[in-house]
Chain A
Amino acid sequence: MWRYLLKRFLLMFPTLLGVATLIFFLMRVVPGDVVELRMAGDRGVVSQEAVEKERVRYGLDRPLWEQFFTWLWGAVRLDFGRSMWTGAPIWEEIKLRFALSLQVAIMATVVAVLLAIPLGVVAALKQDTWVDYAVRIFSTAGQATPSFWLGILFILTLLIVFKWLPPMVYTPFWVNPWQNLAQLIWPALTVGYRYSAVATRMTRSAMLEVLREDYIRTARAKGLLANLILTRHALKNAMLPVVAVVALEFAFLIGGLVVTEQVFNLNGIGLLFVQAVAHRDYTLVQALVMLVAGAFIVVNFCMDVMYAWLDPRIRYR
């Protein structure tokens, strides 16, 4: 078990190095550079000398390999430098947005899990009854509905029916929990619904498969209580693919909610990502990619740990 986990843990580092290398050089391939855009991007009139001096200030005049290793050494020490667009430390640009995106991701995951697992299980147990059909319609609609559109519907409903709009400014949970939830519950519901749709279908099909296994039939033949069969034998085994779906979606939510963030005016990582790319803000894009890649890798690692817990074949391999 420990060897398995150690192997998984060590694999995180070459993956991060690969991501770091890829994003660093990809950003340099994109046409236009941050200094040109920053100083003369929008009809700015500035001398070439000033542009060159600014390049020197950001170290962009140095050879590419030197820039790469300087940045990499900073990244190893978790010092990602300053944003080339605003001049502010990267951590300052990211911290509040990350807190918001992480909270939305957690809340959406809670919404998704609370919806998906009971619905998926019920649908499997009541296969081909009206309950199953209702759950399938509900989950198919969730998959087919873009979350930003659902977000707009939420906002319009709140505005037209309740004459109320969620707060426009993020307040951390520990400052004012009510204000915080009043703002974030709507995007969490919006995203959580779509997210739950995939997980519901996955739970249903995994449960159906598990319920047909020999060991379930044996448990029934032994006269075990139906609830016990469901929770101890069926659900735990059916959770493997569901955990994979939930975990990967969670990691995606941290940086991938660009449109939903726009609809609800959330000051999140997704929007910052888009702006950073548009500004060719190399240091910020690199830091954000590393952050999102880090989130994916950590979530994957947690998923591996859960796999080992859920499936003894993995930990004894």
Chain B
Amino acid sequence: MRRALALVAVLSVALLIGPAAAQDKPRYGGELIFAVPSEPPSYDAHQEETFGLIHPMAPHYSTLMRVDPSDRTGTKPVGDLAESWTISKDGLVYTFKLRKGVKFHDGSEMISRDVKASYDKIIFPEAAMKSSRRTTYQAVEVVEAPDPTTIRFRLKWPESSFMLNLASPWNWIYKADILAKDPRWYEKNVMGTGAFKFVEHVKGSHWVGKKNADYWDKGKPYLDGYRALFITSSSAQVAAVRGERAHIQFRGFSPAERDQLVAALGPKITVQESPWDCVLMVAMHHEKKPFDDKRVRRALTLALDRYEGSKNLSRIAIVRDVAGIQVPGTPYATPPAELEKLAGYGRDINASRAEARRLLKEAGVPDGFTFTFKNRGTPMPYEPVAIWLIDQWRQIGLNVKQEVIEASAYHPMLKRGDFEVAMDFACGFIVEPDLDLGRFVSNSDANYGKHKDAVIDELYTKQARASDLEERKKYVRALEKRLIDEEVHVFYTLQWHRIIPHSSKVKGWTITPSHYLNNQLDAVWLSE
């Protein structure tokens, strides 16, 4: 009880002083030390997908656009290297004026050729090169650099998410001359235009950056440097923050770890929390009986008491909000009252479960029917969520056996379709329907359940091309209803919840729903 009160007190203080702290005058100097639970396999953000690369390395680079570092929803694009921009009336041409006098860390000037070379590498990579987010730029026809300070994107069709997609934290701007000589150079080297220069990477141990005195945004950065410590064990991360060996860990801690830190450090710790743009979904193989029957799939989602689950699981796991296909609090999220009308979201769990039993009976699924649920061998939050799911399904007469697959072998298993029912997962870098929902299109590589649904495909295209916010919302809602209610191709469990307890000395950093955002550190400072 005392611990809970302490937590409430600290959270309240954090909320109250939050806006005031933002008005504090930034202090120069100091080294930010943060823990990173993973390590970059290579140094090339265009190829990689792990936050283990973004957290230690993003401070070395700039992007054309970025997400506003003070926006808690993480959905507002602002210029980074772009100073201004125009969009043609038909939505097919995006023209950006670049900032002048931006310098790479080797002293050379950054011009539009560099932006073009970087985007060409992302969108039109050579056959042997990996580009992880190439498919999200299918609308781009060509990237042009008509003069040194102008960069232009010509699209094949208008795409409402395009601007936000340019704010991707992965799209680091590299130097064109280097890429021309060796497109793989950036896999093993660091050289950008960011607020911090690279000092050293000791494998398995730490990463160090120092202030870039020539950074384009005069007066920034505030820190003299930063040090990222690679710490894989979560208990060691907590110990590092608790022992004041690290100021922060940008990915997130569990509720128990937050409580432990708050109880131990009191006012020395500030907690920021946000819905997390990560979710565990349940994928059901549409070519395997009885999951080819939508009544069975619907019964599986109807069995879940999401509201009670949220209450209990949020105490022990990094999940909390009951949500649809968009992160709560973001522009396209379905309001709770509307969400309750969807299958499995109703407040009357007894009625839902009675309906589930009826559907199973109607589909010829006997009481005590057994199936295997495949889960990823990552404890948090996969393990508690899977246990909850299995318990919920047991309550409608299903007997579920869990099979845990080693984390590194999990995705290949999903791709092979070697499952009846499996935990699917998604983590976005920006909450944007185009980026989040592309996986549900029939021909998507991430359509693991192998559903074929022309209606979903059409709705996806319509929302992607809708220029009016309300019109787009309408399509997103229709897609949501079709996906998780009418056809139940997949269904969502609970939204992840991001918890960042950090040293109260850390200022100028705002939590967002994505742990891939806000890692450039140019606005971060230490109060002492």
Q: In the bound complex, do residue B135 and residue A45 qualify as a contact, i.e. CB atoms below 8 Å apart? A: yes
A50 to B127, CA, bound (A): 6
Residues of B within 8 A of A267 (CB): 202-205, 230
Residues of B within 8 A of A59 (CB): none
Q: In the bound complex, do residue A271 and residue B236 qualify as a contact, i.e. CB atoms below 8 Å apart? A: no
Question: Which residues of A in the span 121-135 have a Cβ within 8 Å of any Cβ on B?
Answer: none
Q: In the bound complex, do residue A50 and residue B239 qualify as a contact, i.e. CB atoms below 8 Å apart? A: no
Please tell me if A312 contacts chain B, counting CB pairs below 8 Å. Answer: no
Question: Which residues of A in the span 30-53 have a Cβ within 8 Å of any Cβ on B?
Answer: 31-32, 36-47, 49-50, 53
Question: Which residues of A in the span 162-202 have a Cβ within 8 Å of any Cβ on B?
Answer: 163-165, 167-170
Binary flags per residue of B121-133, CB closer than 8 Å to A gives 1, else 0: 0000001111111
A45 to B170, CA, bound (A): 15
Of B79-87, B89-97, B406-414, the one contacting chain A is: B406-414
Please tell me if B339 contacts chain A, counting CB pairs below 8 Å. Answer: no
Q: In the bound complex, do residue B236 and residue A262 qualify as a contact, i.e. CB atoms below 8 Å apart? A: yes
A94 — nearest CB in chain B belongs to which residue? B203
Q: In the bound complex, do residue B204 and residue A278 qualify as a contact, i.e. CB atoms below 8 Å apart? A: no
Q: In the bound complex, do residue B236 and residue A264 qualify as a contact, i.e. CB atoms below 8 Å apart? A: yes
Q: In the bound complex, do residue B205 and residue A170 qualify as a contact, i.e. CB atoms below 8 Å apart? A: yes
Binary flags per residue of B361-405, CB closer than 8 Å to A gives 1, else 0: 000000000000000000000000000000000000000000000
Answer whether A96 and B130 are a contact pair too, CB < 8 Å, given A38-B41, A40-B411, A155-B239. Answer: no
B444 — nearest CB in chain A belongs to which residue? A45
Q: In the bound complex, do residue B412 and residue A96 qualify as a contact, i.e. CB atoms below 8 Å apart? A: no
Residues of B within 8 A of A41 (CB): 408, 411-412
Binary flags per residue of B194-232, CB closer than 8 Å to A gives 1, else 0: 000000001111100000000000000000000001111
Q: In the bound complex, do residue B132 and residue A50 qualify as a contact, i.e. CB atoms below 8 Å apart? A: no
The 8 Å CB contact of B50, one of A42, A54, A163, A271, is A42
The 8 Å CB contact of B130, one of A50, A97, A164, is A50
Size of interface on B: residues with Cβ below 8 Å to A = 45
A43 to B444, CA, bound (A): 11
The 8 Å CB contact of B129, one of A50, A88, A265, is A50
Binary flags per residue of A241-280, CB closer than 8 Å to B gives 1, else 0: 0000000000000000000001111010001100000111
A86 to B50, CA, bound (A): 13
Instruction: Please give the distance in Å from B338's CB to the nearest CB on chain A.
Output: 29
Binary flags per residue of B405-440, CB closer than 8 Å to A gives 1, else 0: 011110110010000000000100000000000000
Instruction: Please give the distance in Å from A234's CB to the nearest CB on chain B.
Output: 45
Residues of A within 8 A of B231 (CB): 168, 265
Please tell me if B145 contacts chain A, counting CB pairs below 8 Å. Answer: no
Please tell me if B42 contacts chain A, counting CB pairs below 8 Å. Answer: yes
B414 — nearest CB in chain A belongs to which residue? A43
Residues of A within 8 A of B229 (CB): 168-169, 265
Q: In the bound complex, do residue A165 and residue B240 qualify as a contact, i.e. CB atoms below 8 Å apart? A: yes
By Cβ-Cβ distance, the 3 closest A-B pairs, closest first, are: A165-B243, A262-B233, A267-B204
Residues of A within 8 A of B (CB): 31-32, 36-47, 49-50, 53-54, 57, 85-88, 92-93, 96-97, 152, 155, 158-159, 163-165, 167-170, 262-265, 267, 271-272, 278-280
